[in-house]
Amino acid sequence: MHTVKLKKGKDKAAFQLHPWVFSGAVDRILGAPADGDLVQVINQAGDFVAYGYVNRQSRVAVRLVEWHADQLPDEQWWRQKIQRAVTARRHLLQAADTNTFRLIFGEADYLPGLIADRYADFISLQVHAAGVDRMKPVIIDELCHLLNPKGVYERSDTGARTHEGLPLTNGLLHGDRPPAWVTVEEHGIRYGVNIAEGQKSGFYCDQRDNRLITAAYAKDKRMLDCFCYSGGFTLNALANGAREVISVDSSALALEALERNVTRNGFGGSGHQAVQADVNKQLRAFADAGERFDLIILDPPKYAPSRSTLDKASRAYKDLNRRGLLLLESGGLLATFSCSAAMDIGTFKQVLAWAALDAGKEIQFIHQFSQPEDHPVRASFPEGEYLKGLLCRVV
Ligand code: SAH
């Protein structure tokens, strides 16, 4: 096995179980490993630090996976890690009314660069690292052994792979090709998921708990669901007796999925309306028309892809939330989210305070949203905490 030697003083994060060794921390690569090879990482003193997978084309030169020198990451090791991740979701697997959730969440499950999502009888995989790419046959075999899916489909066609020097792929890996719309259930609500072409790997299962929490406030309310995608917040609100829901998204494919989901769950003609528009423009148009809502959801895409873009992103979040708040009267609720890892909850509260001030509204935070248990945050990898939100009440 080849060896990667760290620069002096650059072993601290790795010893604290952080899984990323940045290229700037590498002193020397001993030997000539191919990208994706298993390597051992040592410090300047020559002490063993961890095993990991090297990729010279990535900013993350080594993704660390195992800190015990006597536990070589071989095929059995991979099978055990996959088993552990799946077993930790046992009660989700047994849930009577939910059959879509994340089975493997990369670094948080000690499998950096690997995401697996369950969609009823199908599994969708995303591979973001060269080392994981090589292990695909074992990963597929173990997931099939544990879960016996009808098919395993790969959605490794996101930008993250380009940064790793890996080609983009989208295709069937095992079993049957999923139908154009796979029907899944979450909290007893049915959704059609387009596994091959949908955003992310097809459905935003990370908002599962937050949809339920928000819907509890929706009864008899007039709700506006901004960035609605396939209607997670909309459908939970309609199921909980919302009087009227308007859902806004810029994507025609998302709204097509949403309309099908509304019909599929029997909510057609029950005070629901879908609008294809840019949310910022639509919020302005609603303000100009004097429209008011009781409950507004703002679940935008990631505005801050990195720390360096946080200032600019904060202004965009501020403007968005200000526009939302302007459409609420006293007692109105705003459920607002950020899926930017660079934006922590403290900063997000400041952004909301700033938005409220600009909107001339006084707000209270009545609930903090986070990511669900199938998206755990590993203590040694705080970067894995990306989804946060605030339920705000206009005073
Ligand atoms: N709330 C959704 C997930 C939102 S994902 C759910 O519960 O499933 C973000 C969504 O924002 C995507 O559907 C994307 O199409 C949409 N989007 C991105 N930019 C937009 C814009 N400027 N205006 C309207 N929609 C936008």
Question: 315-335 in b/e burial notation, b at 16+ Cβ within 10 A?
Answer: eebbebbbbbbbbbeeebbbb
Cα 128 to chain centroid, rounded: 14
pLDDT of residue 165: 86
Which residues make beta-bridge pairs with 340? none
Q: Among 194, 213, 229, which residue has the most ligand 1 atoms within 8 Å of its CB, making it the best to mutate?
A: 229
The CB of 204 under 6 Å from ligand 1? The reply is: yes
From 167, 164, 226, 229, select the one nearest 200 (Cα to Cα).
Answer: 229
Q: Whole-angstrom Cα distance, residue 127 to residue 106?
A: 9
From 262, 337, 324, select the one nearest 294 (Cα to Cα).
Answer: 324
Q: Whole-angstrom Cα distance, residue 44 to residue 115?
A: 33
Separation of CA 339 and ligand 1 centre (Å) = 12
- Residue 232 Cα: closest atom of ligand 1: 7
Contact 118, 146 (CB under 8 A): no
The CB of 314 under 6 Å from ligand 1? The reply is: no
Separation of CA 16 and ligand 1 centre (Å) = 36
From 182, 194, 191, 195, select the one nearest 211 (Cα to Cα).
Answer: 191
From the number of C-beta atoms within 10 Å of its C-beta (0-12, 13-18, 19+), residue 366 rates as exposed
pLDDT tens-digit profile of 16-28?
A: 999 999 999 999 9
* Residues in CB range of 126: below 8 A, 6 or more apart: 114, 115, 116, 154, 155, 156, 158, 201
Indicate the average pLDDT of the chain. 95
The CB of 249 under 6 Å from ligand 1? The reply is: yes
Residue with tokens 């930017």, as numbered in its chain: 340
The CB of 230 under 6 Å from ligand 1? The reply is: yes
Portion of the chain with pLDDT greater than 90, in percent: 93
Q: Among 208, 213, 227, 323, which residue has the most ligand 1 atoms within 8 Å of its CB, making it the best to mutate?
A: 227
pLDDT tens-digit profile of 137-195?
A: 999 999 999 999 999 999 998 777 888 888 999 999 999 999 999 999 999 999 999 99
The tokens of 374 are what?
């199938």
Which residues make beta-bridge pairs with 115? 105, 126
Position 197 pLDDT exceeds 90: no
The Cβ-side half-sphere exposure at 162, using a 13 Å CA radius, reads 3
pLDDT tens-digit profile of 330-340?
A: 999 999 999 99
Separation of CA 249 and ligand 1 centre (Å) = 5
* Residues in CB range of 22: below 8 A, 6 or more apart: 59, 60, 61
The Cβ-side half-sphere exposure at 13, using a 13 Å CA radius, reads 15
Residue with tokens 């990667």, as numbered in its chain: 4
pLDDT of residue 201: 57
Position 199 pLDDT exceeds 70: no
Q: Is the dihedral of CA 358, 231, 257, 209 positive or negative?
A: positive
**DSSP label at 154?**
E
Q: Among 189, 224, 236, 250, which residue has the most ligand 1 atoms within 8 Å of its CB, making it the best to mutate?
A: 250
Radius of gyration of the chain (CA): 22
The CB of 250 under 6 Å from ligand 1? The reply is: yes
Separation of CA 202 and ligand 1 centre (Å) = 13
The CB of 232 under 6 Å from ligand 1? The reply is: yes
Q: Whole-angstrom Cα distance, residue 166 to residue 157?
A: 10
The tokens of 76 are what?
């059995």
pLDDT of residue 90: 95
Separation of CA 329 and ligand 1 centre (Å) = 25
Residue with CA closest to ligand 1 atom 3: 229
pLDDT tens-digit profile of 259-307?
A: 999 999 999 877 999 999 999 999 999 999 999 999 999 999 999 988 9
Separation of CA 111 and ligand 1 centre (Å) = 28
Contact 67, 84 (CB under 8 A): no
- Residue 279 Cα: closest atom of ligand 1: 23
pLDDT of residue 200: 61
- Residue 207 Cα: closest atom of ligand 1: 7
Give the catalytic positions in this structure: 339
The tokens of 359 are what?
């909107």
Separation of CA 41 and ligand 1 centre (Å) = 41
End-to-end, the C-alpha distance of the chain in Å comes to 63
The CB of 301 under 6 Å from ligand 1? The reply is: yes
Residues 197/199/203/209 CA torsion (nearest 10 deg): 180
Distances (CA, A) of 239 to 22, 185, 246, 262: 47, 14, 14, 10
Q: Among 102, 193, 223, 249, which residue has the most ligand 1 atoms within 8 Å of its CB, making it the best to mutate?
A: 249
Three-state secondary structure call for residue 229: coil
